[in-house]
Amino acid sequence: MHEQSTFGKMNWDVAVIGAGPAGMMAAGFAARGGARTLLIEKNDRPGKKLNITGKGRCNITNDMDIYDFFDHFGRNGRFLHQALGSFSNQDLRDFLRKIGVETVVERGGRIFPANGDATHVTIQLETWLRAMHVSFLFDNAVISVQVNQGNTQSPFKITLLDNEVISSRCLVIATGGVSYPKTGSSGDGLRWAQQLGHAIVPLQPALVPLKTGGDQAKKLQGLPLRNARIRIFADGKTIADEFGEMLFTHFGVSGPIILTLSKTIVKNIEQGKKITMCIDLKPALDHSKLDARLLREIDNHGKQQFHTMLKRLLPQKMIAVCMEHTAIPFNKPLHQINAQERQKVIEFLKDFRMIITGALPIETGMVTAGGVSLKEVDPKTMQSSILTGLFFAGEVLDIDADTGGFNLQAAFSTGRMAGLHAAQCSQNLSQP
């Protein structure tokens, strides 16, 4: 979808690099602010990564109180106070409704498009951009970003792969991190930011599946746990304790709760610590209540075999793993199960342990941790504190959050803020 135009012969008020959610918002709101705006994207269409978020359903944001959002971003949450305060989750839903995207709230407060189709969000955003008279340049990668020394009217010089050169008064970099590079997130924006004088917080995977030792995960491959309590130990010390959903895979574990914990786990692995994951399969029952449950099973079904009782306690795939862990013969009658064996079953149900050996590569993470240092970006405008007219939005910043729609909300909110203030900055720079 390369759109032909004499881009190289024009000086733009605002150029935005990256047509993900942050970039599209930046371009649209810059244009709405009166700026002649160009949106540049290396792919042949916008929103390529957005289209695969939420397993193709697009978890846009979360329904929780906006002031509770900040805790989900860790130590950098305070940077987003102005961005989320001026464009909240409800503001985002209202905006999307106006451009033709109805939304619904699902389990965990997660908000999705009502039709469950991420591409619908992208299509409607592109339609809105065209209505805002944003110009597009797709299917043409940026190879360098430089500053035109002494040129206050068009200080930014953008060179494209085909050697075309574009100039702009203001520039918004919204190129994402390095997750899912096939969607265009290859870290280019971080390199340009560094060349323009910005410090880059080292990258690491966030929201990434984890690898486990042994063959237990492979035996349980494809099994989801809906209500599990997970505790993470680093060298025997508890570092995390969470409740939620997870999934066993052929290499280890994934799912919402694992992705949320992954950043903390990766940090500790990099410090050389041994990571153990403890899964409580029956978090609603303490040890005494669970023991009472087993005794009732034995009293009521004493002639049944051990594996039959396990069918009432565990998913089918976990039965063989449990028998291996407890070393209780599968055909042992329940009335022959002794107190020591009951404790082995309880131990498995309440304290099923796996060793975390590492994470999948950073490219497979849903989000990249690290990025442009927030110390050098104005949280009220998203403008660089080093270079006037340079703005950042979205995942290129050192911002990352838990799963549940928080990261996309940050992209939409910071993109909007960057676009609004880039338009204003462009007007200021145009004054003699």
- Average confidence (pLDDT) per 10 residues, the chain, 432 residues: 49 96 98 97 93 91 95 93 97 98 95 97 98 95 88 84 92 87 77 96 89 96 96 97 95 94 92 97 96 95 95 96 95 95 97 96 81 98 97 96 94 98 92 68
**Residue 182, pLDDT score:** 66
Locate the DSSP E strands across 30-80. Answer: 37-41, 61-62
Backbone angles phi, psi at 153, to 5 degrees: -80, -35
Q: Determine the pLDDT at residue 48.
A: 92
pLDDT given at position 367: 83
The reported pLDDT for the residue numbered 121 is 98
Q: What is the DSSP letter of 377?
A: B
**pLDDT of amino acid 9:** 52
> What is the residue extent of each domain of the chain?
7-206+368-430, 209-359
What pLDDT is stored for residue 430 in this prediction?
77
Q: Would you state the CATH architecture of domain 7-206+368-430?
A: 3-Layer(bba) Sandwich (3.50)
The token duo for 74 is: 């860790």
* Contact (CB, 8 A) for 93 and 111: yes
The angle, 0 to 180 degrees and rounded to 10, between the axes of the packed helices 306-313 and 287-300 is: 130
What pLDDT shows up at residue 6?
47
Angstrom distances, CA of residue 243 to CA of 110, 145, 207, 249 = 16, 45, 16, 19
Apex 243 CA angle, 177 and 323, nearest 5: 110
What gap in Å lies between CA 423 and CA 429, rounded to an integer? 10
User: Count of CB atoms within 10 A of residue 284's CB?
Assistant: 9
Question: Per-residue pLDDT tens for 23-42?
Answer: 999 999 999 999 999 999 99
Pairing type for strands 37-41 and 11-17 reads parallel
Give the whole-angstrom CA distance, residue 430 versus residue 154: 9
Cα(407)–Cα(399) distance, integer angstroms? 8
Burial of 156 per CB tally in 10 Å (0-12, 13-18, 19+) = buried
DSSP state of 397: B
This prediction's pTM? 0.86
Residue-wise pLDDT for 115-154, tens only, equals 999 999 999 999 999 999 999 999 989 999 999 876 666 7
